[in-house]
């Protein structure tokens, strides 16, 4: 397996005004950096150009489809990643439209790479969004790891300064997921190099 740090893209999926997502994403970035096996790139979809109107030919059929020039940075950062972690709330029992747009504008960028999830919401802790996203990423030939991090009633768990009041459980959950991403990310990185995926 690769001994080099894996490139981990942490994708902040919510773009809603007043969102709590940056607090959760910044906490997770700290966990990933402390893990020691990842070079972390935080991608905030609120800063990305994401048209909801998709092109006539899906990326799965034509991976070379032209994308808006403003999307070039996002596409390059997704393509460079060896693994992903999606930080998402759930809205109306699903994930945000901004996240689905980012996914649907791309195809090869997700393929044969592992994906982990950090969810937060009032009741479910983002689990409804995570379960839906597992199906989406499976269709894109990505591998979703088993474990995840979840923050139900997140507003009770973080202090005003953005730190967790009781970090032990979430920190342990984050390490477990990061260990899985490290293993899968390393194996799939080497497989893409040695035996390119052609299915």
Integer-rounded Cα radius of gyration of the chain = 16
Contacts of 21 (CB under 8 A, 6+ apart): 12, 13, 14, 87, 88, 89, 120
Better-predicted residue by pLDDT, 66 or 144: 144
Q: How many residues does the chain have?
A: 199
Give residue 7's pLDDT band: very low, low, confident or very high (50, 70, 90): very high
pLDDT tens digits, 94-134 = 999 999 999 999 999 999 999 999 999 998 999 999 999 99
CA distance 117 to 109: 17
- Beta-carbon neighbour count of residue 194 at 10 Å? 7
Q: Is the dihedral of CA 90, 137, 42, 52 positive or negative?
A: negative
User: Could you give phi then psi for residue 84, rounded to 5 degrees?
Assistant: -130, 150
Domain positions in the chain are 6-194
Across the strands, what pairs with 151?
A: 120
In 58-164 the beta strands, taken as DSSP E runs, fall at 83-89, 114-121, 143-144, 149-152
Eight-class DSSP state of 17: T
Q: What is the mean pLDDT of the chain?
A: 94
1.20.58.110, 3.40.50.360, 3.40.1180.10, 3.40.50.720: CATH of 6-194:
3.40.50.360
| pLDDT > 60? residue 139 | yes
At residue 168, the pLDDT reads: 98
User: C-alpha distances in angstroms, 19 versus 15, 23, 25, 166, 182?
Assistant: 7, 9, 11, 22, 29
**What mean pLDDT is predicted for residues 149-160?**
97
Lowest mean pLDDT among 29-43, 50-64, 155-169, 184-198: 50-64
Q: pTM for this one?
A: 0.95
Tokens (6 digits) for 27: 């906490």
At residue 96, the pLDDT reads: 96
Do the beta carbons of residue 95 and residue 126 sit within 8 Å?
Answer: no
Do the beta carbons of residue 67 and residue 98 sit within 8 Å?
Answer: no
**What mean pLDDT is predicted for residues 83-89?**
98
| pLDDT > 80? residue 1 | no
State what percent of residues in the chain have pLDDT above 70: 98
């Amino acid at each position: 397996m690769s001994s080099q740090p894996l490139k981990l893209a942490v994708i902040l999926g919510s773009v809603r005004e007043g969102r709590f997502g940056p607090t959760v994403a910044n906490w997770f970035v700290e966990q990933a950096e402390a893990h020691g096996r990842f070079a972390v790139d935080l991608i905030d979809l609120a800063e990305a150009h994401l048209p909801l109107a998709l092109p006539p030919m899906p990326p799965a059929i034509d991976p070379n489809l032209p994308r808006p020039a403003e999307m070039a940075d996002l596409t390059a950062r997704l393509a460079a990643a060896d693994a992903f972690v999606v930080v998402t709330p759930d809205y109306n029992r699903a994930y945000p439209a901004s996240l689905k747009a980012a996914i649907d504008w791309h195809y090869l960028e997700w393929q044969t790479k592992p994906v982990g999830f950090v969810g937060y919401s009032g009741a479910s802790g983002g689990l409804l969004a995570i379960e839906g996203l597992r199906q989406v990423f499976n269709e894109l030939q990505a591998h979703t790891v088993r474990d995840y991090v979840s923050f139900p009633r997140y507003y009770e768990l973080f202090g005003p300064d953005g730190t967790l009041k009781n970090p032990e459980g979430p920190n342990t959950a984050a390490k477990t997921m990061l260990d899985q991403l490290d293993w899968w990310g390393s194996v799939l990185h080497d497989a893409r190099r040695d035996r390119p995926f052609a299915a």
